[in-house]
Amino acid sequence: MSSLYDMIGYENWYMRLVIEGGEEVVFNQRYEDGGDSIHGIPMTEEAFEGLITIESPYRYELIDGIVYDMTGSSPEHSAIAGNIDVVFHAQLGRGGPCRTHRDQYVAIPGKPPVAPDVVLTCDRADWDKDKRLKPFRIQSPLIVVEVLSPTTERYDRGEKFARYQSCPSLEIYILVSQNERYVEVYRKATNWRQERFSENQVIKLDQLDLELPLDEIYEGVL
């Protein structure tokens, strides 16, 4: 089993030591939202499952046999994800079946789990402590939001999107720029056709009678 051992930061670059088979292995994290590359280490799916089962503030994803640390993000990235979570939470209210989650893994059929910036689920088993899976994996994502970063945008648009599409419950996939007021929405109902929103437009999410005003998405950021 792999486990996080230590973290050392140098400006915007980070190195982590991971215990792999009883030996310390240097884990090079990507440059924080501004670098040109992502670095990871080879890992089996079994070891990856062990790694993400450990309680930790860090987020990892396994892509083609390489595990990457996806934790680092800019303040803008974090603020935008937080704003979206707040907007959803305020409109969903209390007592209903729908909840939002941040920094939680989503189960992908036949693939390793992934960690979205924000995910909304209306399946009580995804948050009820007596019903949910252990280790915790969201099984029925309805809406997934990813805030784009230079180092992960290609992955978010390609492989990660494809993984989410394999979830039968997913209805809406949202990509949010952190550098400008610009959001893309993809809906299963329209065969994942791209919709673009900018400036002070309001995104309508009819499945749950929700709205995402760009003014609120980018509050305090842009």
Instruction: Supply the mean pLDDT for the chain.
Output: 82
Task: For residue 19, give both structure tokens.
Answer: 């215990």
Please state, in angstroms and rounded to a whole number, the distance separating the CA atoms of residues 87 and 78: 14
Closest CA to 120 of 177, 173, 176: 173
Please state, in angstroms and rounded to a whole number, the distance separating the CA atoms of residues 186 and 117: 16
- Higher local confidence (pLDDT), 120 or 36: 120
Give me the half-sphere count of Cα atoms (radius 13 Å) on the Cβ side of residue 42.
1
Q: What is the pLDDT of residue 73?
A: 75
- Top mean-pLDDT range of 64-68, 101-105, 126-130: 101-105
Q: Is the pTM of this model over 0.75?
A: yes
User: Which residues contact residue 14 at a Cβ distance below 8 angstroms, ignoring those fewer than 6 apart?
Assistant: 7, 8, 28, 29, 32, 69, 72
Q: Domain 75-218: give its CATH architecture.
A: Alpha-Beta Complex (3.90)
In this prediction, residue 20 has a pLDDT band, given cuts at 50, 70 and 90, of: very low
Q: Where in the chain is the domain with CATH 3.90.1570.10?
A: 75-218
Please state, in angstroms and rounded to a whole number, the distance separating the CA atoms of residues 6 and 17: 5
CB 138 within 8 A of CB 119: yes
- Higher local confidence (pLDDT), 31 or 204: 204
For residue range 69-124, list pLDDT tens digits in order.
777 678 999 999 999 999 999 999 877 889 999 978 999 999 999 999 999 999 98
Helix (H, G, I), strand (E, B) or coil at 145: strand
pLDDT at 24 over 90: no
Please state, in angstroms and rounded to a whole number, the distance separating the CA atoms of residues 4 and 38: 18
